A and B are shown apart, each in its own frame.
Chain A
Amino acid sequence: MINFDYVRATDVADAIRKISSTPTAKFIAGGTNLVDLMKDDVERPKTLIDISRLPLDKVEKTANGGLRIGSLVPNSDLSYHPLIESQYPVVASAIQAGASQQLRNMASTGGNLLQRTRCAYFYDTATACNKRAPGSGCSAIEGLNRIHAILGWSRSCIAVHPSDMCVALAMLDAKVHVSGPDGAREIAFADFHRLPGETPHVDTNLGAHEIITAVELPPQGFAKHYTYIKIRDRLSYAFALISVAAGLEMEGDTIREARFALGGVAHKPWRNGEAEAALSGQQASRGNFEKAAAIFLRDAKGFAHNGFKIDLARRAIIRALTQAARGTPQVQAIKKLR
């Protein structure tokens, strides 16, 4: 592992002060991704600022009936929190679909948002990668790109965002609370992660000296009609090839509102407003789900090894919407798709 200096932040203001005044410093909380990347020489901070002891570990109801999740709440605690289980079960399910329980015990809510892609070329310092070394090129476009993007990619980068939790948060229209030298602000979840464009080394719209303090969930949790489906190469403890977080508001067999977000397809959790709107006021039928999936995937384009993802995504969308409509969500310990 690389050598680095270590300091501990005493409160949020101190954390912002320290990150603003220390060149090439990084915050560390759970460390599950950052320490690994430092061992691989991909991340090379000269100083780590330990924020793991800051008082950002509460889950609190908001005045409007939503939930404010402190950025240091561990993923495991969040997935088993009574208010998450009852009001936002799609978040619980998505978290439990990701990583291992050891890693979920360590990983923080804010850190989950900031984890980096698992593109093998990003990790391999002997290869070109615009995300790791801007301007060096993309090895994945002409390389082994089985796990890569089918939507929203650029010639600079076809990596995907690895999080499961973020797919559920995108579906729910969560907000990200951040603080920085210029004060506090909130970022809509859809605006938090970026598409690669010409600057794939910039994953998010978080400012260089900003810190995530909380994730806020709106009141609408789709607790009656939801699911999280994750398709991967092994049945547990693997990143998604395709994942779908779906939530429906139903009136009998009629869909009042539909939401669905996909993981494993793009540089950020992917939604398509037109595909969701096409389901509004419609019957919950296979034909209508097929139409929505077709709209969602209209612009999808694969590469040499990941073309299969387009049909896999289509089927996963239909399956997820069917499960959500029936109120029979996937249970992560049960490996047969419902």
Chain B
Amino acid sequence: MASQSAESIAVPAKIEVDLTVNGAAARLRVAPWTTLLDALRDHLDLTGTKKGCDHGQCGACTVLVNGRRVVSCLTLAVMKDGAEVTTVEGLAKDGELHPVQKAFIDHDAFQCGYCTPGQICSAVGLIAEGKARTAEEIRELMSGNLCRCGAYQNIVAAIRQAMETRS
């Protein structure tokens, strides 16, 4: 946590950031140090994206920026002006769950559910990347998403199902 020391600088003016979040235009005014995670949760009330470690180590805050999965806790919102952001709230279309969401339910791929939005967004990113084929490759490329309930077996099974649905 930052200390309020004498060297703290005057609060700079807030900066305007234009994002497309889950298909809708959003104009925010944020401080330079506002992370994309805090912008989504606190400015846009999109609380599906979770704050876990806030240090890029757990993956709970994973979202898609311009189609690529990133950790939103280490992303500064001001740097993403003009970007398209997809959160777990934006995956379902016309009342239909995204195939990855459906597969997570089919395989009971969660217990407490806190890591699940990040797992799902990460899995959507993984499938779009197209680099994982085997269970080992899914595990390796999902290693940035921790699940302290230990639902890994079912998460891998769910992702395999979603990959088959897609292909």
Contact = CB atoms under 8 A, between A and B. Distances in A.
Interface of A: 1-6, 28, 31-32, 35-36, 38-41, 44, 46, 48, 50, 52, 76, 80, 96, 99-103, 105-106, 236-237, 332-335
Given A100-B143, A102-B122, A1 B74 contact: no
Nearest to B55: A36
Given A106-B75, A333-B134, A100 B32 contact: no
Nearest to A123: B55
Interface in B49-75: 54-56, 59, 62, 68-71, 74-75
Contacts of B33: 1-4, 38
Contacts of B144: 99-103, 237
A50 B59 contact: no
B9 interface: yes
Contacts of A36: 55-56, 74
Contacts of A31: 74-76, 79
Contact of A102 (B9, B70, B137, B140): B70
A35 B8 CA distance: 17
B15 interface: yes
A91 B3 CA distance: 40
A52 B54 CA distance: 22
A46 B76 contact: no
A48 B32 contact: yes
Nearest to A50: B79
28 contacts: A1-B33, A4-B12, A6-B32, A31-B76, A31-B79, A32-B56, A35-B35, A41-B3, A48-B76, A50-B78, A50-B79, A52-B79, A96-B140, A100-B144, A101-B69, A101-B126, A101-B129, A101-B142, A102-B59, A102-B69, A102-B71, A102-B125, A106-B71, A106-B75, A237-B144, A333-B134, A333-B136, A333-B137
Contacts of B157: none
A36 B3 CA distance: 15
Interface of B: 1-3, 7-9, 11-12, 15, 31-33, 35, 54-56, 59, 62, 68-71, 74-76, 78-79, 122, 125-126, 129, 131, 134, 136-137, 139-145
Contacts of B1: 41
B131 A334 contact: no
Contacts of B15: 6
Nearest to A46: B9
Given A1-B2, A36-B56, A101-B69, 12 more contacts: A3-B8, A3-B33, A5-B9, A6-B76, A31-B74, A52-B79, A101-B122, A101-B144, A102-B62, A102-B125, A237-B144, A332-B140
Contacts of A39: 54-55
A106 B140 CA distance: 17
B122 to A, nearest CB: 7
A318 B68 CA distance: 38
A9 to B, nearest CB: 12
B70 A105 contact: yes
B79 A44 contact: no
Contact of A103 (B56, B79, B142): B56
A230 to B, nearest CB: 12
Contact of A237 (B31, B54, B125, B143): B143
Contacts of B143: 100-101, 236-237
